[in-house]
Structure 1
């Protein structure tokens, strides 16, 4: 995939220009099952420390890329794209870095200004400063759509879980113009040991692939 096509799909980092559409789910409208499922999602995400997986990213225009994803909660995330894509994404120290290894050109935004920042919080609560706009169950999957209450213009994040047992399988980010970036996970491993240096973009070693200390 040509790099310009992939860059156009980086809505997962770029704040949206318009507020997400659709009303929020009123707490009074939530059924007991809805509340129970949201509590399960909160417990799962807050219990998630490390994750390693393969990913496939699909942009609004159909362009695709794949690679390896690492998450180390709270605060750390890394996406290494397979060749020929020279791109890498790293979240650490409150910043999200998008780096082009060929051009050696970084672009940095605050983690808190991106929809994915919600996943990296120390404590995830799906109420209050996070507004849930949708909860769907279909074909063994549970979908939860949300945004930061104080900054709806950043866009919407939909988390897709396998329902039994609960496991994060996919997320979608929708920007203010309705463009969707979809990331699907496979070969998921949780509770793995990761190298802290893999998330350090001030160290020259960050240009290499992720390292496992096992």
Structure 2
């Protein structure tokens, strides 16, 4: 079983966007093979994880355009903003909506009808993005590291309750420089969601108003 888990966790490269959902479901099934942290991984994979930790903890901000896919073929696009411990999504399609994640919660406001929704991220894989500083050991499982040509992705789960879901972070990796280009996930009900990021700008000043929860 250990050999099987090891082969599965080391398998594969970065897939085309249409296959990401399949890869995420495969990764979710690997959670039973994983242990907390990443000591169980090969030395090269641990090196890549350290690179990702250093990259994320070295960021002061990200802003980008996004395209979203989600359950039941839900689609959307808009603008994405991130600073350590917080992120915001401003949707233009399908509805004018603003979503702010911070302090363990996601708050969404539909500007068309004024409806406000509060969601807890404490048992949702997207909550891993709210950690600062970011460290993928102890209470986090690294379930998979996958390399492709000029690309890298890692899959993560909560070590104490991995059945709650899986988060996969996707990066371009050009001449040793990482840049976040995708955030994919599978929740505890195996519903897939994901953001593909475009026109990414890093370490540019962001107004604090981006991260004030909508009223």
The two structures have a TM-score, normalised by structure 1, of 0.78
Normalized per residue, which structure has more helix?
Answer: 2
- Does residue 40 (structure 1) correspond to residue 48 (structure 2)? The answer is no
Task: Output the CA distance in 2 between the equivalents of 1:143 and 1:100.
Answer: 32
Contact 2:125/2:186, CA 8 A, preserved across alignment: no
Aligned to 1:10: none
- Quick check: 79-88 or 49-58, which moved more? 79-88
Farther off after superposition, 88-97 or 131-140:
88-97
Runs of at least 5 residues in structure 2 that lack an aligned partner in the other structure: 1-27
Q: Is the 8 A contact 2:77 2:94 kept in 1?
A: no
Matches within 5 A, 1:61-80: 61-73=72-84, 75-80=85-90
Residue pair 1:25, 1:134 contacting (<8 A) in 2 also: no
Q: Who is 1:52 aligned against? A: 63
Alpha-carbon distance between aligned partners in 1 of 2:101 and 2:109, rounded to the nearest angstrom: 11
- Preserved CA contact (<8 Å) 2:152 2:172: yes
Counterpart in 2 of 1:9? none
Q: 1:181, CA displacement in angstroms? A: 1.1
| Contact 1:45–1:119 (8 Å) recurs in 2 | no
For residues 34 and 178 of structure 1, the distance between their equivalents in structure 2, rounded to whole angstroms, comes to: 26
Q: Which residue number in structure 1 is paired with residue 100 of structure 2?
A: 90
Q: How does 1:1-214 map to 2 (within 5 A)?
A: 20-22=28-30, 23-24=33-34, 27=38, 29-73=40-84, 75-164=85-174, 165-201=177-213
Unaligned runs of 5+ in 1: 1-19, 204-214
1:172 deviation in Å? 0.7
Q: 1:201 to 1:25 in 2, by over 3 A?
A: closer
- TM-score (structure 2 length as normaliser): 0.77
